[in-house]
Structure 1
Amino acid sequence: MAISLAKGQKVDLTKTNPGLQNIVVGLGWDVNKYDGGNDFDLDSSVFLLNSEGKCTSEADFIFFNNLKGGNGSVVHNGDNRTGAGEGDDETISVNLSQVPSSIQKIAFTITIHEAEARNQNFGQVSNSFVRIVNEANGEELIRYDLGEDFSIETAVVVGELYRHNGEWKFNAIGSGYQGGLAALVTDFGLDVQ
């Protein structure tokens, strides 16, 4: 049975699941009733971070225009432009044993595409979650439901995988940002193009 996390909680991933190599990180959300005249397009992005918590190059920023990183160990499985339906809206596959040793953290984020121009924010989004699934058998190992803590934010760091004493752990972060994807890119050490 999956471990359900609260904001700020950290949990071991590989120590309690010996031999775990391939995982799928599923992210999902629903849009509340909204009559702003524009569609909502939420996007998941992944930042591969060094020990200083920064990306060393643009190749460490994985999103809908750059679907692979970490020498192919992290793969974004495609953009879902509507978020309609049940279950995961976007997924990222991670081969934990193949992640380069220079990468200490893998941060998972959700942003609202063109949020400012469309006057949209995470106060209009509900049922957001991140979950980690064992790819081999489909078992859900970890789930973090973000709750309704957001209002004006346009980007959220939902959680991160990180190395600790040779094992992988997961941290349920749930931190909201204003400034959308550009703010995250800058915070993680890259230049906004």
Structure 2
Amino acid sequence: MAINLVKGQKIDLTKGRSSLSSIMVGLGWDPVETKKSGGFLSGLLGGGGGGADIDCDASVIMLDENGKLRGKENLIYFGNKKSKDGSVVHSGDNLTGEGEGDDETINVDLKRISPSIHRLVFVVNIYNAQKKKQDFGMIENAFIRLVDNQTREELVHYNLTENYSGKTSLIPGEIYRQGNEWKFSAVGESTTDSDIGSIANKYA
């Protein structure tokens, strides 16, 4: 049974789970539903009863023990779907967020992560947010969850419930190394960065 976390909570992933080696990180979101209308606003949002066409992108920033990003190869996103050590694999880009369940997934093989990597920071940002005048106030039901790839058991689920209006990127959570164990932290932070490059530069 999954443990539901709130912002700021941390949990051991591997302690007591010696068999846990590969996890699926699922990230999901939905466009805010708009009321049916034939008016001008409806046209802007893509028709009556639907949500805005918002393209959210999930990424992973792989950091060293000092919290630094060492090289572009440690930034995993739709343009670089696999880490150099093969431990992190991105499923690909979902352009709309429509439908239930995970919108984008990232597989993480904990056993294959390079010893030089100590933190995996998961980021979701809105593609072309400034140009499209979009922000996370137009998104609802955002979550991050971790699933054991071997047993398919959902280990952790964190719903992001804050109002992120005006924000264009989210850091829902991170996996980090502590000794020989791996832990997960429900971060739930937001920024006004418009692309993954500007977020990654903060860790350079």
Question: So what's the TM-score if we normalise by structure 2?
Answer: 0.89
Deviation, structure 1 residue 70: 4.4
Corresponding residue for 1:183?
Answer: 198
Equivalent residues of 2:73, 2:83 under 8 A apart: yes
Please list the CA deviations of residues 88-125 of structure 1 after superposition, one character each: whole Å capped at 9, or x if unmatched: 00000000011001000000010000000000001111
Map 1:166-177 → 2, pairs under 5 A: 166-177=180-191
Corresponding residue for 1:165?
Answer: 179
Distance 1:70-1:161 versus aligned 2 partners, 3 A rule: farther
Corresponding residue for 1:18?
Answer: 18
RMSD between aligned residues: 1.3
Which of residues 97, 105, 109 is equivalent to 1:91? 105
Please list the CA deviations of residues 112-168 of structure 1 after superposition, one character each: whole Å capped at 9, or x if unmatched: 000000000011110000000000121100011011331111001111000012100
Identity within the alignment, %: 43
Equivalent residues of 1:70, 1:100 under 8 A apart: no
Measured in 1, the distance between the counterparts of 2:190 and 2:80 equals 23
Determine helix, strand or coil for the equivalent of 1:15: coil
Determine helix, strand or coil for the equivalent of 2:102: coil
Count the aligned residue pairs. Answer: 189
Corresponding residue for 1:40?
Answer: 54
Please list the CA deviations of residues 50-76 of structure 1 after superposition, one character each: whole Å capped at 9, or x if unmatched: 112121000000000100014110000
Q: Which moved more, 1:12-21 or 1:28-37?
A: 28-37
Question: So what's the TM-score if we normalise by structure 1?
Answer: 0.94
Corresponding residue for 1:7?
Answer: 7
Q: Which moved more, 1:158-167 or 1:37-46?
A: 37-46
Could you tell me which amino acid in structure 2 is paired with residue 113 of structure 1? Y
Determine helix, strand or coil for the equivalent of 2:176: strand
Structure 2 residue 66 is matched with structure 1 residue 52? yes
Runs of 4+ with >4 A deviation: none
Map 1:84-163 → 2, pairs under 5 A: 84-163=98-177
Which of residues 73, 94, 103 is equivalent to 2:87? 73
Please list the CA deviations of residues 19-42 of structure 1 after superposition, one character each: whole Å capped at 9, or x if unmatched: 100100000000103654462100
